[in-house]
Amino acid sequence: MSAQNQHSAQNLPHMSFRSYVEALKKDNDLVEINEECDPQLEVGAIIRKVVESDERAPLFNKLKGQDQNGLWRILGAPNSLRADPKQRFGRLARHLGMQPDSSMKDILQTIVAAKTAKPVPPRVVESGPCKEFRLSADQIDLTKLPAPLLHKSDGGKYIQTYGMHIVQSPDGKWTNWSIARAMVLDRNHLVGLVLPPQHINQIHEMWKKESKNMPWALAFGVPPAAIMAASMPLPDGLCEAEYIGSLAGSALEVVKCDTNELFVPANSEIIFEGHCSVTEKAPEGPFGEMHGYVFPGHAHDQPVFTVNAITHRKDAILPVSCCGRIADETVCGVAEAFLRV
């Protein structure tokens, strides 16, 4: 692929979260909210209302706690269903570079075809939109940024519901991209799920044997095709970045983190860089689950993540999934179906 075509591919809706948001606008599937909203329950309530009524995705442009560079806006319900029966799975289809009127059968066939296609390794670039602004360790205070409290009984502000953890085995042979929830613990720490038999836990155990903290990055607003791949139960040892190339039809551009050796999607909205402790844990949860329940006050100790740097785009957008009683954010259900086909 020529350099010009490669650049054009990176701007397609399934390869750029910002382009995906623009595609939702063109589909008349997005509502911009320009009045100030409170991430403390208000944002979550609006997102749940949208999901339960199959309304257009809400983009919150003004939030209490935004910094001077617009860190951050929120896009709610990034992969929920549409009311139009002809475009029921329109957001999911857009994640995969398909037309919004694609059927679930067509979507599954696209995923299965990528499973057997030749892997396409990512392409390393010198910089990217995610490097536009940078916060160093002494500038970070996660407690002051607009991380959402989504449900009243949540154990904390769940900043991570639709982002992508990036970790790598100590020998560098296996890089894993995955989705797992995480909440704000304090100024520069998160606590999140690292559960067996998930790949992030397998790699965490490798670092534990080395008695070294696990280098880590958390990317928000990644290419939609990447978040799809991150949700899929791919075989142990398979790097999602290569599968994304097969799924999307072109190599994904990645850029090196500033503070560790990991590579992240270059056009991501927001990047957290740091490490995950192999010894320190803190209470995590509860969280309003996708099954529609929550156990107030019920928490479990999980590993602590340290955020050493944040890089981001101007007016960055944080995607947020607010789980609840009905089937929503179809990404995980489709990923499970992928196993059965």
Where in the sequence numbering do the catalytic residues fall? 289
**Beta carbons of 313 and 266 less than 8 angstroms apart:** no
Q: How far, CA to CA in Å, does 292 sit from each of 48, 101, 143, 288, 328?
A: 12, 29, 27, 7, 11
Give the Cα separation of 165 and 183 in Å (integer): 13
Burial class (CB in 10 A: 0-12, 13-18, 19+), 77: buried
User: Measured at the alpha carbon of residue 189, what is the angle toward residues 184 and 195, in degrees to the nearest 5?
Assistant: 75
Question: Which residue from 13, 5, 3, 14 is spatially nearest to 246, judged by alpha carbons?
Answer: 14
Burial class (CB in 10 A: 0-12, 13-18, 19+), 111: buried
CB count within 10 Å of CB 331 equals: 22
Tokens of 122: 């990512």
Give the Cα separation of 38 and 35 in Å (integer): 10
Residue 107 DSSP label: H
